[in-house]
Amino acid sequence: MQDSKGFLPFRKAAVLGAGVMGAQIAAHLANAGVSVLLLDIPAKEGPKNSIVGGAFKKTLKMKPAPFANKAASKRITLGNFDDDLEKLADAEWVIEVVIENLKIKQDLMSKLEKVVNPDAIVTSNTSGLPIHKITSGRSAQFKKQFMGTHFFNPPRYLKLLEIIPTPDTDPAALERIKWFGRVHLGKSIVIAKDTPNFIANRVGNYASLQAFRWFTERGYTIEEVDTLSGPLIGHAKSATFRTADVVGLDTLLYVADNLYEAIPDDESREAHKAPEFLRELVDKGRLGAKVKKGFYTKVGRDILSINPETFEYEPPKEMNIGDIKAIKKAGGLVNRLKALYADEGRAGAFFRESTLDLIGYCVRRVPEIADKPADIDNAICWGFGWEMGPFHVWDALGFQNVLNDLREANIELPAWIDQMVKDDATAFYQEKNGQLQSYQPGTGYVDEAVFTDQISLKTVKETAGNTLIERKEAALLDLGDGVALYEFRSKSNALGHDVVEGIFEAIDYVENNNFHGLVIGNEGRNFTVGANLGEVAMALVEGKWDLIDGATSRFQEMIKRVRYARKPVVTAIQGMALGGGCEISLASAVTVAAFESYVGLVELGAGLIPGGGGCVSFAARAGEQAPTDFVSDHQPFMLDAFQTIATARVSTSAREAVDLGLLKPNTRIAMHADRRIHMAKEEVLRLSNQGYMPPPQRSNILVLGQPGFAAMKTMAYQLAQAGYASEYDAYLGEQLAYILCGGDLTAASEVDEEYLFDLERQVFIGLLKQKKTQERIESILKTNKPLRN
């Protein structure tokens, strides 16, 4: 068991080097609430801070955004190595991210030792240099506080943080960085050995270059390789060649060349040698996405790929890899992998041979780069977004089956595999008494880390008696300690009839039994994408308007049931929380949101308005924000609310969602998404132990009447005139304004929430009868894309 007892969070940090990685690491530290000093070399001409200032400005414009919100960017102070090095005395964590040159890093460490606090932790973000050599010549005290911390690009979004301690690193310093990285930066930690490129990049470089060779040497097209190395096998959507373009072909070449020189004893060293074709592309300036030409380029709406013989870009050729649709229909990831592995065509040959080759390479890297296979799996999955690592895949395909194929293919295997067989170990992973274990050569099965602040719903569901209620598309689970959890299980966690009715049932159960309260959450990629539009569309086709009206009313009643429950209801959200998902969060006592939560009232994209209390919540919040009851003080906040909903604004983080009013000010943010359900459970217990009382009904909501409606109508018109909205969007904006301003009221007035709920429902039903709204719903269901009609 691992927990946070005894650790103190960092308040002040410094990042040395404001390049692409350094500036983004600084940004993410600021996201975590840390005050950051960002330094770089002084400019030779002009203001000394012009280099760091220019880098910082680029960071502000990057997509995806390194900063969670504007407030985070304000926590960074800029400086240069000449004037501001002494300010490092205040830093508790100093991260070096300067150029990959050992002498430059060593010289910088010499300067740091003279200015940093002896208790400060100093780390290097090098990706290729030996960590222990960077502190050569430094004191024993300095070396105790030093280690490698290898972030992955982009640092905000990729989960992996490889930490590389040296033999001199103080275990207490290591544990503090591990804890802070997980809890406050949201990272999943792998302890790596001080070997070239550590774990993920060592294996990732091998896998990428070997995949390239299927294109340059084996006759597969770029499109075929990307189809067979992307989501079909649980890898990132960008697959092989699109990923290369995003990373930059010059960067890939630089990494490959450096790694090749650094691993003279690697038996597969030649596989790390960059193909000449890659070198030629770089020489020709085809560097990837940053110059809009790499393996792919876009011409108009067409995506073209490079011809390796002519270096011209051509439309994709028809793929010759068999019936991929049949593979997709095999089911979940494990079933797809088994189907591909058994395929006798070109798709099967690619997957089988490349998988066996990669597994062989990874097996031979244990214990060189990692003591156990699980560390390689974790590094690859967290660093590159794979759903399963090489050893996960081996287990899924059958240990003995793959072992036989490895031997038949004459792939070199280390002696520890034979020992594993002698030990009667038939998988790399097993569960024993509910504890996940992994195989470690020389030791046998060892427990994988268990954190006291993480709850696995899979484990909860597997424990007898923990399923209190099971429905078609949802379930009520017992989390222990008198806290229940309501889990969505519908497709995309959509809020259909069964899920909505289940919320009533769950709250009733908790109120009438010995529970402190309820968590609403799940372990899906997204909390929910909103209402089940399929159910809506079916009712529309059948003309069941009474059913639609009843369902809309029932949804609103569910929102009120969440808000006014006699015991606290806490939502635990992650990924997308759209439409009704946002409305449920706004109704709950507290929301615990994963840092990467993308929240929005997006109904206008479907030709609708928020019909489940979203408008009510925003109208009430405007009144809470206004400094006085004067209409003039109230109007700016109401106009902000209108703009957020009318533009279907979706937050880029949980922090921005709070800023926009899409989440309540008391929202708790889980930097590491896996902690959110535990945190939500703790919130239920806290609220209950304090003596929970539901909020009073909102009876004095100030609405602006016709003057406010006129102002909002003008905003909608201006958006349409500027090309940001269609004519129908402007009409939808007017309908939204009608609700927010209190309908037909001629002047500013106070209304109760039931009045606004009724307006929401009336407008919502009226829009469903509009042809253009029905066209938008049909487009979303057929293409998964909104229609701008």
The number of angstroms, rounded, from the C-alpha of 422 to the middle of its chain's C-alpha atoms is 41
Q: What's residue 449's pLDDT?
A: 87
The residue among 96, 81, 92 whose CA lies nearest residue 15 is 96
Dihedral of alpha carbons 651, 655, 656, 658, sign: positive
End-to-end CA distance of the chain: 55
Using DSSP bridges, classify how beta strands 146-151 and 569-578 pair: parallel, antiparallel or unpaired. Answer: unpaired
- Residue 615, H or E segment: helix 614-625
The residue among 275, 215, 220, 278 whose CA lies nearest residue 247 is 278
The residue among 401, 394, 339 whose CA lies nearest residue 361 is 394
> Mean per-residue pLDDT for 76-90?
97
- Residue 209, H or E segment: helix 200-216
Q: Encode pLDDT of 451-494 as tens digits.
A: 888 888 888 888 878 999 999 999 999 999 999 999 999 999 99
Residue located via tokens 């899979």: 458
Cis peptide before 64 (omega within 30 of 0): yes
Q: What's residue 568's pLDDT?
A: 98
Please report which residue ranges of 3-79 form alpha helices under DSSP H.
20-31, 50-61, 70-73
Q: Which tokens belong to 382?
A: 């967290």
Q: What's residue 311's pLDDT?
A: 93
- Residue 111, H or E segment: helix 102-115
Lowest mean pLDDT among 2-16, 209-223, 482-496: 2-16
Quick check: helix, strand or coil at residue 427?
coil
The residue among 313, 283, 404 whose CA lies nearest residue 352 is 404
Quick check: helix, strand or coil at residue 217?
coil
The number of angstroms, rounded, from the C-alpha of 265 to the middle of its chain's C-alpha atoms is 37
Quick check: helix, strand or coil at residue 80?
strand
Q: Encode pLDDT of 718-758 as tens digits.
A: 988 988 889 999 999 999 999 999 999 999 999 999 999 99
> What's the rounded Cα separation, in Å, for the pair 711 and 85?
52
On the question of pLDDT at 175 being above 70, the answer is yes
Please report which residue ranges of 722-769 form alpha helices under DSSP H.
727-740, 753-768
DSSP 571-592: EEEEEEEETHHHHHHHHSSEEE
> Mean per-residue pLDDT for 241-256?
93
Q: Encode pLDDT of 548-566 as tens digits.
A: 999 999 999 999 999 999 9
Q: What's residue 5's pLDDT?
A: 59
The number of angstroms, rounded, from the C-alpha of 347 to the middle of its chain's C-alpha atoms is 30
pLDDT averaged over the chain? 95
- Give me the residues paired with residue 163 across strands: 149, 191
> Mean per-residue pLDDT for 586-612?
97
The residue among 239, 252, 238 whose CA lies nearest residue 281 is 252
> What's the rounded Cα separation, in Å, for the pair 745 and 742?
6
Strand order of the sheet with strand 483-488?
467-470, 474-480, 483-488, 517-521, 569-578, 590-600, 668-670
Q: Encode pLDDT of 333-385 as tens digits.
A: 999 999 999 999 999 999 999 999 999 999 999 999 999 999 999 999 999 99
Q: Are 562 and 503 in contact (CB under 8 A)?
A: yes
Q: Are 394 and 377 in contact (CB under 8 A)?
A: no
Q: What's residue 461's pLDDT?
A: 86
Count CB neighbours of 274 within 10 A.
21
Residue located via tokens 């009724």: 758
Q: Are 78 and 56 in contact (CB under 8 A)?
A: yes
> Mean per-residue pLDDT for 389-393?
98
> What's the rounded Cα separation, in Å, for the pair 153 and 361?
24
Lowest mean pLDDT among 19-33, 147-161, 450-464, 679-693: 450-464
**3-state SS, one letter per residue, for 681-699:** HHHHHHHHHHCCCCCCCCC
- Of all residues in the chain, what percent carry a pLDDT higher than 90? 93
Q: Are 281 and 293 in contact (CB under 8 A)?
A: no
Quick check: helix, strand or coil at residue 70?
helix
Dihedral of alpha carbons 98, 102, 104, 110, sign: positive
The residue among 568, 559, 576 whose CA lies nearest residue 522 is 576
Q: What's residue 1's pLDDT?
A: 40
Q: What's residue 74's pLDDT?
A: 97
